[in-house]
A and B are shown apart, each in its own frame.
Chain A
Amino acid sequence: MDALILSHVEHGVMTLTLNRPDRLNSFNDEMHYQLAECLKQAERDETIRCLLITGAGRGFCAGQDLNDRSVDPNGPAPDLGLSVETFYNPLVRRLAKLPKPVIAAVNGVAAGAGATLALGCDIVIAARSVNFVMAFSRLGLVPDCGGTWLLPRVAGRARAMALALLGDKLSAEQAQQWGMIWQVVDDAQLLETAGQLARHLATQPTFGLGLIKQAINAAETHTLDQQLDLERDYQRMAGRSDDYREGVSAFLAKRPPQFSGK
């Protein structure tokens, strides 16, 4: 079987490379299955403390492979909701729930679900030449993979609406100016920069980072009161972590902390 996802674990970082370069790493069912297996490992393996997602070849991910969806004009309408329900929604939920940082290193074009998937990662770093293409509306479709939830939150309603309705492409630099992504770097620097960041995060207090991520994600739908309660609860749990103790001891002893992630 072809490895449609290349998985590599080193220094606490799991690097997942979407690997269908001849199809700009667009998703088919098999690629979804393989990605789900890798994420299962990322969830269970405590030595993995950061996830880095990137694409092989010149693209990041071109979304759904439309070759798998060629519609017979005389046949019955396809049920696209089924693949959203079976593949894309569980993927987005898993990445959002994963209690460790997820970095997207967007190395090339990110279109359709590939764009919304990338923008939804915790930290997004893009190569300068990259475009995010909200291609859905041009096919008569709706941004999926969390797109309609995510875009207004990262870009603001006005930009989200126009981007999604027009199906335009957005340059990495524009996305950064709008505050939608963390960083833009020269193409040649992308993997080095993203790898460095991932290795750094993998040495940090992972349990606490996981709580920060859950808290910020929960804030999107919470009231201030709910969020204050959540902060109390998460701080209570964080305060009991080994890493908090280590952090304080190291600070008092003026030495660099050695975080275990627990």
Chain B
Amino acid sequence: MSELLSVHHGRVLQLTLNRPQARNALNNALLTQLAEALEAAQQDDSVGAVVIVGTTRFFAAGADLQEMAEKDLAATLNDSRPRLWARIDAFSKPLIAAVNGYALGAGCELALLCDVVVAGDNASFGLPEITLGIMPGAGGTQRLIRCVGKSLAAQMILTGNAIDAKRAQQAGLVSEVYPSGLTLEYALALALRMVEHSPLALQAAKQALRQSQEVSLHAGLGLERQLFTLLSATDDRQEGIAAFLAKRKPEFKGR
């Protein structure tokens, strides 16, 4: 797993994309490792949230073009890659992207898939697929428009031009911009803040947030209420409210 490094910081797992020689291009092998690492983290109660980070200059600068070039229509039709992305997307704990430098193509799509994106002031986001005679193929056309709106999404995807961190924050793609030397540290602090909370509440809230992109407002409100009701049956809810009323720190058990 040398191309994907993992480090634990308390209940936060940090996954570092580490293919500097290929500007962290997301080939199938790396994507598979990422999916496996997240699936392991899914089962691991000692992991409450995951932060994905790249190097100082590259979050991930796209897919592996060699891999893609070899595939004709038939091979692309039966490509395993969409399943890899679906496995990554199925991760149900908080997932944070800490982006320094370039997040392009598949790298941008990976960031878009995460729940929260924090960026270094040197970050840039773009979907340059169009310049190669292709188009985004892992959620770029769907997730970008949902966070930045039609005009900017269409402009980025149809020109292939990237935007910088500040613009990405104004547009809603990024929640915070930090000096690049502190991006990872602040992303970890954000994740550590999240994992103080009840794991079940985090999971339910994430599920509700995800559903908001899938269903109508009416259906979404219904789902939200169901999930809310579900939490009322948990010990952690009792603990959370009791601790608040007693002005002490809650001790969540994840049940």
Contact = CB atoms under 8 A, between A and B. Distances in A.
Contacts of B178: 233
Contacts of B182: 233, 236-237
Nearest to B179: A233
Contacts of B179: 230, 233-234, 237
Interface string A225-240: 0000010011011000
Interface string A107-131: 0000000000000000000000000
Interface string B156-192: 0000000000000000000000110110000000000
A220 to B, nearest CB: 14
B135 to A, nearest CB: 28
Contacts of B181: 237
A233 B120 CA distance: 12
Interface residues of A, number: 5
A233 B177 CA distance: 11
**Chain B: number of interface residues, binned into ranges:** under 10
Nearest to A240: B181
A90 to B, nearest CB: 14
Nearest to B181: A237
Contacts of A234: 179
A236 B179 CA distance: 11
Contacts of A237: 179, 181-182
A233 B182 CA distance: 8
Interface in A219-259: 230, 233-234, 236-237
A162 to B, nearest CB: 33
Contacts of A230: 179
A233 B179 CA distance: 7
B124 to A, nearest CB: 14
Nearest to B185: A236
A233 B183 CA distance: 10
A221 to B, nearest CB: 10
A105 to B, nearest CB: 31
A237 B181 CA distance: 7
Interface string B179-209: 1011000000000000000000000000000
B177 to A, nearest CB: 10
A21 B195 CA distance: 65
A78 to B, nearest CB: 25
A110 B182 CA distance: 40
A237 B185 CA distance: 11
A221 B42 CA distance: 43
A230 B186 CA distance: 13
Contacts of A236: 182
Nearest to A236: B182
A230 B181 CA distance: 12
A43 B181 CA distance: 17
Nearest to B122: A97
A233 B121 CA distance: 12
A236 B181 CA distance: 10
B163 to A, nearest CB: 16
B17 to A, nearest CB: 23
A234 B181 CA distance: 9
Interface string A123-164: 000000000000000000000000000000000000000000
A234 B179 CA distance: 8
Nearest to B182: A233
Given A233-B178, A237-B182, 7 more contacts: A230-B179, A233-B179, A233-B182, A234-B179, A236-B182, A237-B179, A237-B181
9 contacts: A230-B179, A233-B178, A233-B179, A233-B182, A234-B179, A236-B182, A237-B179, A237-B181, A237-B182
Interface of B: 178-179, 181-182
Interface of A: 230, 233-234, 236-237
Which 8 A-B pairs give the minimum distances between C-beta atoms?
A: A233-B179, A237-B181, A233-B182, A237-B179, A233-B178, A236-B182, A237-B182, A234-B179
